[in-house]
Structure 1
Amino acid sequence: MASFIKALLLVVVAEMGDKTQLLAMAMASKYKAKQVLLGVLVATILNHALAVAVGSYLSTMIPMNVVKIVAAVSFLVFGLWTIRGDKLEDEENKKVKFGPIVTVAIAFFLAEMGDKTQLMTITIAAENTQPLFILMGTTVGMLIADGIGILGGAWMCRHIPEVYIKWVAGIVFMFFGTLTLYNSVSNSLLTPLYISLFLGILGVLIYLFGVKFAYFGQVCERKVIKIEESEVVNE
């Protein structure tokens, strides 16, 4: 159950502001929320089942201590990725001759390939020995996060600056990464010199990804534009 809760919470955090959440929000402007969520469910089960299988396989091939260090570094990377933000290409605009649920499932599955949440699912699965709970946790986490995007995206965009959402999520990831790294590396590396060096490098990376090369306004701008277009049409 602990694996389920951990996977659920980390995926919810990872998905906030992610391009697949934006895709779900965009699809919700075309189809009913129930159809979008069903499509997300189908795509997530297929995509994350693949990710969990890969992660479980890696855990049998690589020593656990190495897995934990790789997981820690991965969480730090996910944190930097999150504060940089993400942008949606044109997945929602591609012409697919299927019904709403299948259309959403295909677009979502393709968008999730190589995405942050899929890579994180592989990492969590490699770290744990309960693949079914990991799959359940990540699937429920995706539904919660994308449900928030679909149902509460408009309110969040109007009342909470997107940059706050990205930074809170990114800090959560970097905290988990730092804690896991601290518990995994040799004591000989836990000296003031190495800790200061680590914090200095992390600080520079946070500045580069969170300020210098960050995507600003990607999620909310697209959502607000769609809301305004819908209001104009209704008038």
Structure 2
Amino acid sequence: MEALFTSTVTVALAEIGDKTQLLTLLLASRFLSRKALISGIAAATVLNHGISAWLGSYLGALIPTSIANYVVGISFVVVGLWLLVPDKDEAATGRFDHFGAFCATFILFSLAEIGDKTQVATVLLGAEYHSVLWVTVGTTVGMLLANVPVIYLGEKLLCRLPVKWVQLIAAGLFVAMGIATMWWG
């Protein structure tokens, strides 16, 4: 259950102000079907984060535990620091809109998550917990916790949310996880 909880919290916090959250806002302004948007986000996240958690678990099993704790720990610290770097606003074109809300969301989220902070975090969580299922479920729930309110409340929510503070908390959480991993293994 630790893998589920930690994966949920870290991704939900890391997602605040992330480019995929801004993508959610853009998609919510283009499409009326909120259920299709949520389903598209969930499907893209399960696919992307499932592969990422598996990769992390696989790589974590290859590296000896004495070395893996330091590699994963240092990686968590690096991701924590990376969270402090603002994402570039990558405007999504409407070229996928004709596929409908679900497909456009699935395609754009799948593409946006490649190499994203939350994808890297999912690989690290997979390496840390060796639980593809619970890490995937947790990161997907975290992604939905951060993005579903944006679908319904949109810009009102993003304007009121102290994004900088949330990013600082998320960065601190990743750094703390990294130190704990290295220290207690």
Q: Same fold (TM over 0.5)?
A: yes
TM-fit CA distance, 1:119: 0.9
Alignment of 1:1-235 (within 5 A): 1-31=1-31, 32-90=33-91, 92-96=92-96, 97-184=98-185
The answer as to whether partners of 2:41 and 2:106 remain within 8 angstroms in 1 is yes
Mapped partners of 1:51, 1:44: distance in 2: 10
Unaligned runs of 5+ residues in structure 2 are none
CA distance in structure 1 between the partners assigned to 2:146 and 2:154 by the alignment: 10
Is contact 2:72–2:178 with CA below 8 Å preserved after alignment? Answer: yes
Gapped regions of structure 1 (runs ≥ 5): 185-235
- Paired residues in the alignment total 183
Give distance in 1, aligned partners of 2:77 and 2:151: 28
Offset at residue 152 of structure 1 (A): 4.2
Please, what TM-score do these two structures have when normalized by structure 1? 0.72
Return the alpha-carbon distance in structure 2 between the equivalents of residues 79 and 148 of structure 1.
24
Q: Deviations over 1:113-164 (max 9, x none)?
A: 1111111111111112321111111111111111133334433333344322
CA distance in 2, matches of 1:61, 1:41: 30
Q: Which residue identity is paired with 1:61?
A: L
Larger Rg: 1
TM normalised by structure 2 equals 0.90
Residues in 2 aligned to 1:127 and 1:109: alpha-carbon distance in whole angstroms: 24
Let me know the Cα RMSD of the aligned residues.
Answer: 1.7
Supply the distance in 1 between the matched residues of 2:51 and 2:158 (Cα, whole angstroms): 33
Q: Tell me which amino acid in the other structure corresponds to 2:116.
A: D
Distance 2:136 2:63 in 1: 21
Alpha carbons 1:85, 1:166 under 8 Å: kept: no
In the TM superposition, what is the alpha-carbon distance from 1:94 to its structure 2 partner? 4.2
CA distance in 1, matches of 2:66, 2:152: 41
Paired with 1:105 and 1:133, the residues of 2 have a C-alpha distance of 22
SS of the equivalent of 1:83 reads coil
Bigger RCO (CA 8 Å, 6+ sep) = 2
Counterparts of 2:74 and 2:150, CA distance in 1:
28
The percentage of aligned residue pairs carrying the same residue is 37
Q: Per the alignment, do residues 160 and 132 of structure 1 end up closer, same or farther by CA in structure 2, a change over 3 Å counting?
A: closer
**1:49 shift after superposition:** 1.4
